[in-house]
Structure 1
Amino acid sequence: MTDGTVAGLRREIAARLDRAGREWLDRALAEAVRAAEDGAGEAPRTGPPAWELRFASAGRHCRPTAATAPVGAAATDTADAARVLLLRTARADAATLARLYGHGTAAERRAVLLALPHLDVGQGAVPIVEDALRTNDTTLVAAAVGPYAAEHIDAHAWRHAVLKCLFTGVPVSAVAGLEERARGDAELARMLRDHAAERAAAGRAVPDDLHRVLDLAATPHPEEG
Structure 2
Amino acid sequence: MSQAEHEWLAQAVRRVEADPRAIHLLFPQAERRGGPDARGALLRALRGDSAVISAVISDLYVRGDSGERLAILSALPDLDAGPEAVGLVEDALRTNDTRLVAAALGPYGSAWLDDHSFRQGVLKCVFMGIPLASVAGLERRFDAELARMLSDYAAELRAAGRPVPHDVMERI
**TM-score, normalising length: structure 1:** 0.71
Q: Which of 38, 44, 60 lines up with 1:88 in the alignment?
A: 44
Q: State the partner residue of 2:24.
A: 52
What residue is the counterpart of 1:111 in the other structure? 71
Provide Cα deviations, 1:166-198, integer angstroms capped at 9, x if missing partner: 01111111111111111xx11111101110111
* Deviation digits for residues 138-185 of structure 1 (CA, Å, limit 9, x no counterpart): 010111101111111111111111101101111111111111111xx1
Question: For residues 200-219 of structure 1, what are the alpha-carbon distances to aligned partners after superposition, in whole Å with 9 as ceiling and x for unaligned?
Answer: 122211001111233xxxxx
State the 1:24 CA deviation: 0.8
Counterparts of 2:41 and 2:132, CA distance in 1: 26
2:153 is matched with 195
Offset of residue 62 of structure 1: 3.2
Q: Write 1 or 2 for the structure with the bigger share of helix.
A: 2
Cα separation, 2, equivalents of 1:213 and 1:143:
21
Which residue number corresponds to residue 29 of structure 1? 13
Alignment of 1:182-221 (within 5 A): 182=142, 185-214=143-172
Rg larger for: 1
Q: What is the CA–CA distance in structure 2 between the aligned matches of 1:21 and 1:137, rounded to whole Å? A: 29
Q: CA offset at residue 51 of structure 1?
A: 2.6
- Structure 2, unpaired ranges of 5+: none
The residue matched to 1:90 in structure 2 has which SS? Answer: coil
Aligned sequence identity (%): 51
> Could you say which residue in structure 2 is the equivalent of 1:149?
109
Task: Name the residue aligned to 2:80.
Answer: 120
Matched letter for residue 4 of structure 2: A
Distance of 2:54 and 2:111 partners within structure 1: 16
Structure 2 distance, partners of 1:200, 1:165, is: 18
Tell me the distance in 2 between the aligned counterparts of 1:209 and 1:122: 31
Query: What are the Cα deviations for residues 21-76 of structure 1, in whole angstroms up to 9, with x where unaligned?
Result: 111111111111102xxxx3xxxxxxxx333222111221234xxxxxxxxxxxxx
State the aligned residue count. 168
What amino acid sits opposite 1:23 in the alignment?
A: E
State how far apart, in whole Å, the 2-side matches of 1:136 and 1:213 are: 24
- Two-structure CA RMSD over aligned residues (Å): 1.3
Is residue 173 of structure 1 aligned with residue 133 of structure 2? yes
CA distance in 2 between counterparts of 1:201 and 1:146 reads 32
Question: Which whole-Å CA distance do the structure 1 matches of 2:117 and 2:164 have between them?
Answer: 22
Residues of 1 paired with 2:23 and 2:80: CA distance? 19
